[in-house]
Amino acid sequence: MRREIRLQGLGGQGIITAGHLIGEAVSLHDRKEAVMTEDYSPYITGGWSRADIVISDEKIDYPLVSRPDILVAMSQDGFDDNWEATAPDSTVIVEAGLVNTNAVKDRKIFAVPALSIAEELGKKVVANIVVLGFLTATSRVASREAMEAAIVTRYPKAAELNRQAFDRGYALSPKEAP
- In contact, 9 and 49? CB cutoff 8 Å: yes
Q: What is the mean pLDDT of the chain?
A: 94
Share of the chain above pLDDT 90, in %: 85
| Predicted confidence band of residue 176 (pLDDT cuts 50, 70, 90) | very low
| pTM, rounded to two decimals | 0.93
Share of the chain above pLDDT 70, in %: 97
pLDDT per position as a tens digit, 68-103: 999 999 999 999 999 999 998 999 999 999 999 988
pLDDT per position as a tens digit, 16-34: 999 999 999 999 999 999 9
What pLDDT does 124 receive?
Answer: 94
E strands, the chain, are 3-10, 33-40, 48-56, 70-73, 91-95, 108-112
What pLDDT does 175 receive?
Answer: 64
Between CA 1 and CA 149 the distance in angstroms is 23
Per mean pLDDT, which range of 7-11, 70-74, 106-110, 136-140 is the poorest?
Answer: 106-110
Query: Which residue, among 73, 68, 65, 66, has the nearest Cα to 89 in the 3D structure?
Result: 68
> What mean pLDDT is predicted for residues 124-152?
97
Domains and CATH numbers, the chain: 3-172 (3.40.920.10)
- In contact, 125 and 161? CB cutoff 8 Å: no
> What mean pLDDT is predicted for residues 130-145?
96
